Amino acid sequence: MTEIREAAKGARAACIVGLGESEYRRWGGFTDRSELELACEAIKLAVSDAGLTLSDIDGLSSYAGDANEPSYIQDVLGLPELRFTSMVWGGGGTGSCGPLLHAALAVESGVANAVVVFRALCQGQSRRYGQFNPARPGNNFIAPFGMFSPPNMIAPLIQRYMHEFGIRQEHLGEVAVSNRANAARNPRAVMGQRPLDMETYLASRIIASPLRLYDCCQENDGACAVVITRMERARDLPRRPVRIIAAAQGTNAGWGTGALGAHNMPVEEYGVGNGGKVAKELFAAAGLAPSDIDVAQIYDHFSGLVLMSLENYGFCEKGGAGDFVEKGNIRWDGGSLPINTSGGHLSEAYIHGMNLVVEGARQMRGESTSQVDEAKLCLVTGGLAGPPTSAAILGAA
Amino acid sequence: MAYFSNDLPGPVPGLDDREFWEQCQQRRLMFQRCIDCGKVRHPPAPGCKACGSFESDCVEAGDDAELFSYTVVHHAAHEAVRGSVPYNIAIVRYPALDDVRIVSNVIDVASDDLRIGMPLSLVWEKAGNGLLVPRYSRAVGK
């Protein structure tokens, strides 16, 4: 195996030591507890899982404009010291792995000792992400033309991608069917009790062509959190630490708001995606290659963008993802790169990528309901097509 | 008949895009062009993403529009389009203007007849708030 540069940081290297999740429900599912309470519940569970107390937590980081500001959380949980807080800007879960970078920098530098990365999302208490958002900047160039929702915005990219590279509907469907099969083993998965086969997928209604119902992620309510501290501290804690080998955020240049805006990203990257730069920097920082990765949690807002991500992160050639998934490579049972082992956004829940981070860490602790045998390295990605994008490589200790 | 109902949100011009919409009201589709490097851009912005210059003028779209990509929307994500589904959203490209693209609609082509690469002609329609917005029709004689 290639050299892992994170090892040079030794005892100061950042690692994930605790995981916490609320229950996941469909959007509108929580009428008895506020989003803030769910955020704090997930944080409390993660701190308890880590074997720490709330007074150990001195940093909070989130993304996507999470409404639960650290000052509110500090008061609800009675945190005595908050030395570090940060936010990754950008729509949706595009920045979901960015806070891992922030938290790692904070604990490795000594600015903070234990940082919680969290995301709480109650679409029933704020707004549905699948409906028109009148506050979106740039609406002038999309709303008068009937472009309102993420499926409306992403569908033309996938249409172009399929046109350029001969990707078929069944290739998109394989992502949906594979994710659903993983969800069936996961009791937390909102769609876990609803089997999905290719025939049902192909017969499902069209949302915005070429996207069918099962190509689009769910809309959910829930919260999750992870605790990050230094390896020297983790050695005395109960859980097997999960190494943050590398994390990166950014985008290919010239994407602006990408598919969430006026669609004027570089023309040659329109049906390709904006993750190439982050992928290159991530693997360089880790001193690893895509072939080293054992399991991946690929941000699945839409099935077709999972295919593009597989190409952006170097698991197959540009345009090669259809063939890659058709050969069974992403399946948990026998695939070369099992992905979205919790069921992902399509079938577990859509908590803006944070639940993918949790599942990535679970794989590295050996605790997934679809555990990949001997998995030592997990790629987690955040977003694609609406900048920024972000990703992390997690490692088993 | 207009492509959408009058309940659809129309553009609400702001400081960065009011010139664009003012030109539209004169039935002229004008894109910003960087004076320093010549790069054409859309949507209107204070600076050039190729070189960072704040200096710009405008260039008028020609008749070489083509369908770059599209989607046919079946699920309404806004009350105002419940009666319009299925409708298309077109990504229209101007190859002669640095491949600048505009999000719009093709108003006279059936969903099944849309083809990536098909030539299109600019037409003007009033949005619900009375402002003219650019839409497209099948290019005749091409």
Q: Tell me the pLDDT tens digit for each residue of A316-351.
A: 999 999 999 999 999 999 999 999 999 999 999 999
Percent above pLDDT 70 for chain A: 98
Across residues A72-98, what is the average pLDDT? 95
Tell which residue, A297, A373, A393, has the closest CA to residue A341. A297
Q: How many beta-carbon contacts under 8 Å exist across A and B? A: 124
Gap from A207 CA to chain B (nearest CA, Å): 5
Confidence category of residue A128, pLDDT binned at 50, 70, 90: confident
pLDDT band at A7 (very low <50, low <70, confident <90, very high): low
Q: What 3 state SS string does chain A have?
A: CCCCHHHHHHHHCEEEEEEEECCCEECCCCCCCCHHHHHHHHHHHHHHHHCCCHHHCCEEEEECCCCCCHHHHHHHHCCCCCCEEEEECCCHHHHCCHHHHHHHHHHHHCCCCEEEEEEEEECCCCCCCCCCCCCCCCHHHCHHHCCCCHHHHHHHHHHHHHHHHCCCHHHHHHHHHHHHHHHCCCCCCCCCCCCCCHHHHHHCCEEECCEEHHHECCCEEEEEEEEEEEHHHHCCCCCCCEEEEEEEEECCCCCCCHHHCCCCCCHHHCCCCCCHHHHHHHHHHHCCCHHHCCEEECCCCEHHHHHHHHHHCCCCCCCCHHHHHHCCCCCCCCCCCCECCCCHHHHCCCCCCHHHHHHHHHHHHCCCCCCCCCCCEEEEEECCCCCCEEEEEEEEC
Q: What is the mean pLDDT of chain A?
A: 96
Residue A58 has pLDDT above 50, yes or no: yes
Does B95 have pLDDT greater than 60?
yes
pLDDT of residue A1: 37
pLDDT over 80 at A4, yes or no? no
* C-beta atoms of A148 and B74 within 8 A: no
- Determine contact: A373 vs chain B, CB below 8 A: no
Q: Is A272 on the interface with B (CB under 8 A)?
A: no
Q: Across residues A228-232, what is the average pLDDT?
A: 97
Complex ipTM above 0.90? yes
Q: Does A313 participate in catalysis according to the annotation?
A: no
- Categorize the per-residue pLDDT at A225 as very low, low, confident or very high, splitting at 50, 70 and 90: very high
**How far away is chain A from the Cα of B37, in angstroms, using its nearest Cα?**
15
Closest residue in A to B78 (Cα–Cα)? A132
Question: Is the preceding omega at residue A151 within 30 degrees of 0, hence cis?
Answer: no
**Beta-carbon count within 10 A of B55 CB:** 11
Confidence class for position A92, pLDDT limits 50, 70, 90: confident
Query: Is the dihedral angle over the CA atoms B101, A211, A219, A276 positive or is it negative?
Result: negative
Within 8 A of A209 by CB-CB distance, chain B residues are: 71-74, 111
Task: Count Cα atoms within 13 angstroms, Cβ side, for A75.
Answer: 5
Which DSSP letter does residue B106 get? B
The yes-or-no verdict on residue A2 having pLDDT over 50 is no
pLDDT single digits (tens) A343-396: 999 999 999 999 999 999 999 999 999 999 999 999 999 999 999 999 999 999
Task: Categorize the per-residue pLDDT at B1 as very low, low, confident or very high, splitting at 50, 70 and 90.
Answer: confident
Residues 18-57 of chain B with CB under 8 A from chain A are 21, 41-43, 49-50
Res B142: pLDDT:
63
Q: How confident is the model at residue A3 (pLDDT cuts 50, 70, 90)?
A: very low
Q: Could you tell me whether strands A389-396 and B40-41 are parallel, antiparallel, or unpaired per DSSP bridges?
A: unpaired
Q: Are A58 and A74 in contact (CB under 8 A)?
A: no
- Of the candidates A63, A201, A299, A313, the residue annotated as catalytic is A299
Q: Which residues of A touch B111 (CB under 8 A)?
A: 209
Q: Does A127 touch chain B (CB under 8 A)?
A: no
- Is residue A72 part of the annotated active site? The answer reads no
Report the pLDDT value the prediction gives residue A129, as an integer from 0 to 100: 87
Q: Do B81 and A146 touch (CB under 8 A)?
A: yes
Single pTM value for the model:
0.97
Contacts of B42 in chain A (CB under 8 A): 141, 262, 264
